[in-house]
Amino acid sequence: MTLAYREFNFDGLVGPTHHYGGLAEGNRASVGHRFQDSHPRIAALQGLKKMRALAGMGVGQAILPPLSRPRLDLLRRAGFTGTDQQMIDAALLHSPSLLSAAFSASGMWTANAAMFAPSCDSRDGCVHITPANLVSNLHRSLEADETADLLKKIFPNFELFKHHPPLPKTVAFSDEGAANHIRFFGLEGGRGMHLFVYGREYFGVSPVTRYPQRQTLEACQAVARLHQLPEETVVFARQSPVAIDAGVFHNDVISTGHGALFLYHAEAFADGPSVVDRLKKIFEETQHRSLCAIEINEFSLADSVQSYFFNSQIVTRSDGRTVMVAPAESEENPKVRSVIAGLMKGADAVIGDVVFLDLRESMQNGGGPACLRTRVVLNEEEQRAVPPRVFFSEPLFDELTSWVERYYRESLSLSDFRDPALLVEIQTALDNLTQILELGPIYSFQK
């Protein structure tokens, strides 16, 4: 008997310190917007509107609160001394990027928060959760332990949810979470199959790239083992080094999947044809139907990175149609727009409808629609074990919108981090948020 399973998008609520630090090497948007003014209020509202659009389609939608920032412990551990104010002033002067890292709101891209395996996939019938260690970037590495604690609050029944610690924090296990993972399935609630994508092999020879290869094969293998995924349901694939050097820092910038649909760029993988053959074969063997794998070669890697086409969310709307939720940048690129039109054409159209969303504040840091969410497949019992207020509703949307409008600044630049009023605003806002979400104290300053 198959239990009723449902996929939820857990979106990261954009935090009040959203800014452009230029912190992520190899992520063109991040580097290109370094130290430009950001707009945290608009950023958070854009994210909330996306959640509302998805929920309005009948898609499972939930929220993960932002992590607490600033992390002044980073400054102290890096040798700055004195009061908080003195450390911030000195860091702004001597190491603005370190200051930016301490204030980074990068936890908003929850596709990188963790990898999840649904209970219908794992051998022990539990949901498995491994927070990403994110060791490739200083600002993101700060997220791992906080995310691990947060996920224990959101998925608190340890019989149902198996929380693994982040993988050992070393380059050998460099792990960026679900951004390099796609779960395919033939039947909702049935056992799915898994594509894990890596850039580098720690114990093997890897091609040299100019930009960092953020995910290792060893990390992918460890997660597949920890999550008790049967070997016959797993494929590991190497990202193309050419793609990495074109700014494809995660696989979700160059391929995507939903159910039995797989869209991938012709230059996504080091050995594309063999990856696709393996996926098709395993899909057929495990799901007893064929994978609809569509290679996109009508636009370049550069167009992929500029438009974030592959970072669209593909979802099933309540009327049964497959909908692509794409960033506005995809509509603005004529080649990409025409590919989308092609996917929607004819009797065998794989996309039934497209919705373009303005997520520019996040996009300017390299975070599109799919980066802002992590997919969690839960059965009814598991859903009941999650604090109910984190599930999206219209009243929650209204409350969070007023909350953002009340506490978030219209714009932020790095020098604003010197303002002592900002720290008070952030703590008051986050404290208030935990009340709205009825989560109890989750931040260290509340304990």
Q: Provide the H-helix boundaries in 9-77.
A: 28-32, 40-56, 72-77
Q: Is 293 helix (H, G, I), strand (E, B) or coil?
A: strand
d(CA 255, CA 30) in angstroms, rounded, equals: 20
Smallest distance, ligand SUG to C-beta of residue 13, A: 15
Strands 60-64 and 5-12: parallel
Nearest in space to 65 (alpha carbons), one of 410, 447, 442: 442
Smallest distance, ligand SUG to C-beta of residue 134, A: 8
Q: Is 216 exposed, middle or buried (0-12, 13-18, 19+ CB in 10 A)?
A: buried
Q: Which helix (H) or strand (E) holds 129?
A: strand 127-131
Residue 439 neighbours by CB under 8 Å, 6+ apart: 65, 153, 387, 389, 390
Please list every residue from 369 through 388 that binds ligand SUG, using CB under 6 A.
371
Residue labelled with tokens 């993972």: 181
Under the binding rule (CB under 6 A), the answer on residue 308 touching ligand SUG is: no
Smallest distance, ligand SUG to C-beta of residue 339, A: 20
- Residues 334-373, mask of contacts with ligand SUG (x by CB under 6 A): -------------------------------xxx---x--
Strands 181-184 and 193-198: antiparallel
Under the binding rule (CB under 6 A), the answer on residue 307 touching ligand SUG is: no
> Which residue in 10, 109, 211, 356 binds ligand SUG (CB under 6 A)?
109
Residue from 7, 176, 218, 382 carrying the catalytic annotation:
176
How many residues are listed for the chain in this entry? 447
Strands 114-117 and 127-131: antiparallel
Query: Catalytic annotation on 176?
Result: yes
> Which residue in 14, 253, 323, 378 binds ligand SUG (CB under 6 A)?
253
Size of the site for ligand SUG (CB under 6 A): 22
d(CA 354, CA 341) in angstroms, rounded, equals: 9
Chain Cα centroid distance, residue 51: 14
Please list every residue from 51 through 80 that binds ligand SUG, using CB under 6 A.
none
Smallest distance, ligand SUG to C-beta of residue 78, A: 18
Nearest in space to 104 (alpha carbons), one of 144, 77, 142: 142
Binding segment for ligand SUG (CB under 6 A), chosen from 18-26, 41-49, 336-344, 421-429, is 18-26
Smallest distance, ligand SUG to C-beta of residue 362, A: 8
Under the binding rule (CB under 6 A), the answer on residue 117 touching ligand SUG is: no
d(CA 70, CA 83) in angstroms, rounded, equals: 14
Sign of CA dihedral 195, 196, 200, 203: negative
Binding segment for ligand SUG (CB under 6 A), chosen from 102-110, 147-155, 215-223, 270-278, is 102-110
Please list every residue from 188 through 227 that binds ligand SUG, using CB under 6 A.
none
Query: Catalytic annotation on 329?
Result: no
Query: Catalytic annotation on 295?
Result: no
Of 252 and 267, nearer to ligand SUG (C-beta) is 252
Please list every residue from 21 through 50 that binds ligand SUG, using CB under 6 A.
21-24, 27, 30
Under the binding rule (CB under 6 A), the answer on residue 12 touching ligand SUG is: no
Smallest distance, ligand SUG to C-beta of residue 204, A: 24
Smallest distance, ligand SUG to C-beta of residue 306, A: 14
Under the binding rule (CB under 6 A), the answer on residue 256 touching ligand SUG is: no
Tell me if 3 sits within 8 A of 379, measured CB to CB.
Answer: yes
Under the binding rule (CB under 6 A), the answer on residue 133 touching ligand SUG is: no
Question: Would you give the DSSP letter of residue 399?
Answer: H
Residue from 18, 227, 250, 258 carrying the catalytic annotation:
250
Record the tokens describing residue 404, joined without a space: 């953002």
d(CA 420, CA 424) in angstroms, rounded, equals: 7
Binding segment for ligand SUG (CB under 6 A), chosen from 46-54, 163-171, 250-258, 348-356, is 250-258
Record the tokens describing residue 23, joined without a space: 């912190």
> Which residue in 46, 68, 106, 286 binds ligand SUG (CB under 6 A)?
106
Tell me if 229 sits within 8 A of 193, measured CB to CB.
Answer: no
Which residues of the shown chain bind ligand SUG in the complex (CB under 6 A)?
A: 20-24, 27, 30, 104, 106, 109, 111-112, 140, 179, 249-250, 252-253, 365-367, 371
Positions marked active-site: 176, 250, 371
